[in-house]
Structure formats: structure tokens, C-alpha cells
């Protein structure tokens, strides 16, 4: 079965499932680019702004799938991906005709992505795994990195859609390899976030002007996206997501599971996961990933009154 032809935006119907921090911006770009959008999200009110821009809301992923040529999903956990795409009654798969394309942009398990690919293939349909990097800022500015796994032909057909949402879009390999690349991405971010927070913690404690520290470090070998984008938010004590702690913990868990499966010991990743678990245990799982600073402050006793610490 050949891949569905995707002509001009105005004649291409895109389903969009999952209207969270990322999804809202990404779906908005697609509407602005002229695509006809069909949306589903568990909390219907989250789709209001998109509906006011012209999107149609449906009650199940299956109905979205029936009305769309391509369905993009970006939800929370692998179990949500499985539910949304593969549920026999309400999922995208039973709503698909042959030739249609599912693009899952959730960060999820490589093994699940491979299974989804096979399940869709059985029915003559197609699936790509296409997780993203770049955070809320990247989604808003349409500068996301998009790491794709699947077939070249399907990737080529979807490239115009990807290009509306991101800047660096790459086919990384077969099904699951978009997710594997995203795991490499999360591993690269993980201990880097510790590095950034510990650096600012040190600078604060010494009494340096931390804004100057961020600026001077950012023009040398310590330069990172995290420092430039999350450093200033930490200084303002603004810990809104961004990217949720609970989702990052999910990602790091998947990465550790995959590493373990391959017999790889990654000490930095293990430690970062532990610090994020400490943060979540403290009730901070709905904050952004840069709230790792709060876990470091906690283990340093900064959550106690400084007078109390000095007295002891």
C-alpha cells in the first residue's frame, strides 16, 4: 500500500492528539501554515484556543483518525501512547484506512515505537516515531529538533509538516530510532542540568552576581542551552514548566531501562534520576526540569531557616 499523498496544507487534514505545553504551540503553527486540524485531548477545554483558530474537536482518537490523513500524537507516558494509538475501540489504528500515517511525537519507549510500526503496517498504514527537543521555547518559536524513526518514504511525505514545527528534522533510522536519539538527548541534558544548578549554587553562595556569571560562562566552554534558557528562570525563582519534572523522570527511567538492557552503566544518568526522584518525592513533580535546583538546595539544607542551620 502506498503512502497517502499529502498535497498542499489546505487539502491536508492533520489530526492532533494531546494539547499540552508543547502541543498547543505545535498545533497552532500547523493551523497558521494552513492545515486543516482535527484535535482530541483528554481535557477538552485545553483545545479551546485551537478550536477558536478553526480546529475541529472530536471525542476520541479514532474519530480524529477517521477525519485525518496524518495523525500527530504528543501525550504523556508510553501507556498513553499505547491507549491513544492502539486501543481497539477508540484508538487511531482502528480509525485508519490504509496509507494513512501516524506520527507519535511523545518521548516514549523505543520498543513501543517498533511495536506500533508493526501494528500499523499489518493494516497497511504507517507510523513514525518523532520525538522533539527544544522545550516550550522551541515549540513556541518552531525551532524544535525532530528525531524521526521509520521508513524513508513516509518521512519524506511528512517533511513539510515537520518543517512547520521544527528546524532540524532528521530521519535517524528505522522505527524506534527517533526514540533512541531522544534518549541520547535526554541523557545529554540530564547531568548537564546538575552541572548548571551546582554552578549557580556555588556562585550564589560565594556572593557573585549570578546574572554576570551566566553571561560570562555562556560565552566560553561552559556554554549550554540549559544555562542560557533555564539559568535566568532559576535566578528569578520561576520554576514553571517548560518541561515537566514528572515527564523528565519518565524519560530518564526509559533511558536507564534501555541502558540496562544493553548492559551499559551510566553513572551520571543514575545520579540525575535519583536527584529528580528526590525532587518529585518533595511534591515538585509538576514544576519544570530546572527545578532540580530545589532538590540541590534541599539536600544542602536551604529549605530550613538559615538561622536554624547556623545555630546547629
Rounded distance between C-alpha atoms, residue 177 and residue 209, angstroms: 43
Smallest distance from its own copies to CB 70, Å? 22
Of the two residues 39 and 296, which places its CB atom closer to its own copies in the complex?
A: 296
Smallest distance from its own copies to CB 193, Å? 8
Smallest distance from its own copies to CB 35, Å? 23
CB of 125 closer than 8 Å to CB of 86: no
Smallest distance from its own copies to CB 168, Å? 4
Smallest distance from its own copies to CB 209, Å? 7
Task: Pick the closest to residue 14 from 80, 95, 102 (CA basis).
Answer: 102
Give me the catalytic one of 100, 109, 182, 273.
Answer: 182
Considering only residues 180 to 199 of the shown chain, the ones binding its own copies according to CB under 8 A are 180-181, 183-192, 194-196, 198-199
Rounded distance between C-alpha atoms, residue 245 and residue 44, angstroms: 24
Calculate the alpha carbon distances from 141 to 24, 147, 266 in Å: 12, 17, 33
Beta bridge partners, 148, equal: 171
Q: Which of 43, 220, 311, 312 binds its own copies (CB under 8 A)?
A: 220
Considering only residues 97 to 156 of the shown chain, the ones binding its own copies according to CB under 8 A are 132-135, 138, 143-145, 147
- CB environment 17-54: b (16+ within 10 A), e (fewer): bbbbbbbbbbbbbbbebebbbbbbbeeeeebeebeeee
Instruction: Mention every residue, 6+ apart, whose C-beta is less than 8 A from residue 143.
Output: 134, 137, 166, 167
Smallest distance from its own copies to CB 228, Å? 9
Residue 296 binds its own copies (CB under 8 A): yes
Q: Which DSSP letter does residue 97 get?
A: P
Q: Which DSSP letter does residue 305 get?
A: -
Of 5-13, 73-81, 94-102, 251-259, which segment contacts its own copies by CB under 8 A? 251-259
Residue 288 binds its own copies (CB under 8 A): no
Considering only residues 49 to 68 of the shown chain, the ones binding its own copies according to CB under 8 A are none
Please, is 153 exposed, middle or buried when counting C-beta atoms within 10 Å of its C-beta (0-12, 13-18, 19+)? exposed
Kindly provide the residue ranges of all beta strands, DSSP E only, lying in 18-76, ordered along the sequence: 36-40, 56-57, 70-73
Size of the site for its own copies (CB under 8 A): 74
Of 42-50, 73-81, 233-241, 295-303, which segment contacts its own copies by CB under 8 A? 295-303
Of 19-27, 72-80, 120-128, 210-218, which segment contacts its own copies by CB under 8 A? 210-218
Q: Which of 11, 141, 163, 212 binds its own copies (CB under 8 A)?
A: 212
Of 51-59, 61-69, 73-81, 221-229, which segment contacts its own copies by CB under 8 A? 221-229
- The terminus-to-terminus CA distance of the chain in angstroms comes to 73
Residue 311 binds its own copies (CB under 8 A): no
Task: Pick the closest to residue 211 from 194, 224, 195, 228 (CA basis).
Answer: 228
For this structure, is 182 an active site residue?
yes
Query: Which residues are part of the catalytic machinery?
Result: 182
Amino acid at each position: 500500500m502506498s503512502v497517502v499523498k499529502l498535497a498542499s496544507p489546505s487539502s491536508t487534514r492533520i489530526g492532533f492528539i494531546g494539547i499540552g505545553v508543547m502541543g498547543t504551540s505545535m498545533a497552532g503553527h500547523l493551523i497558521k501554515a494552513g492545515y486543516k486540524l482535527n484535535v482530541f485531548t483528554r481535557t477538552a477545554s485545553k483545545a479551546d484556543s485551537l478550536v477558536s483558530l478553526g480546529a475541529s474537536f472530536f471525542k476520541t482518537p479514532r474519530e480524529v483518525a477517521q477525519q485525518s490523513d496524518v495523525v500527530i500524537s504528543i501525550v504523556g507516558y508510553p501507556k498513553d501512547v499505547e491507549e491513544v494509538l492502539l486501543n481497539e475501540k477508540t484508538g487511531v489504528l482502528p480509525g485508519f484506512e490504509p496509507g494513512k500515517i501516524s506520527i507519535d511525537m511523545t518521548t516514549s519507549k523505543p520498543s513501543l515505537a517498533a511495536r506500533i510500526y508493526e501494528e500499523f503496517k499489518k493494516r497497511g498504514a504507517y507510523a513514525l516515531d518523532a520525538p522533539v527537543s527544544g522545550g516550550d521555547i522551541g515549540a513556541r518559536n518552531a525551532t524544535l529538533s525532530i528525531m524521526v524513526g521509520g521508513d524513508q518514504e513516509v518521512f519524506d511525505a511528512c517533511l513539510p509538516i515537520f518543517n512547520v514545527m521544527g528546524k532540524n528534522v532528521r530521519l535517524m533510522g528505522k522505527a524506534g530510532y527517533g526514540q533512541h536519539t531522544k534518549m541520547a538527548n535526554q541523557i545529554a541534558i540530564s547531568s548537564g542540568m546538575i552541572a548548571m544548578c551546582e554552578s549557580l549554587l556555588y556562585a550564589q553562595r560565594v556572593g557573585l552576581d549570578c546574572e554576570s556569571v551566566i553571561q560570562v560562562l555562556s560565552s566560553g566552554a561552559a556554554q549550554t542551552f540549559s544555562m542560557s534558557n533555564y539559568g535566568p528562570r532559576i535566578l528569578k525563582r520561576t520554576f514553571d514548566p517548560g518541561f515537566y519534572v514528572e515527564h523528565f523522570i519518565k524519560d530518564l527511567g526509559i533511558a536507564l531501562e534501555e541502558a540496562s538492557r544493553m548492559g551499559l552503566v551510566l553513572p551520571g544518568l543514575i545520579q540525575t534520576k535519583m536527584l529528580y526522584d528526590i525532587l518529585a518525592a518533595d511534591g515538585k513533580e509538576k514544576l519544570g526540569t530546572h527545578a532540580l535546583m530545589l532538590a540541590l538546595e534541599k539536600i544542602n539544607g536551604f529549605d530550613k531557616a538559615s538561622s536554624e542551620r547556623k545555630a546547629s
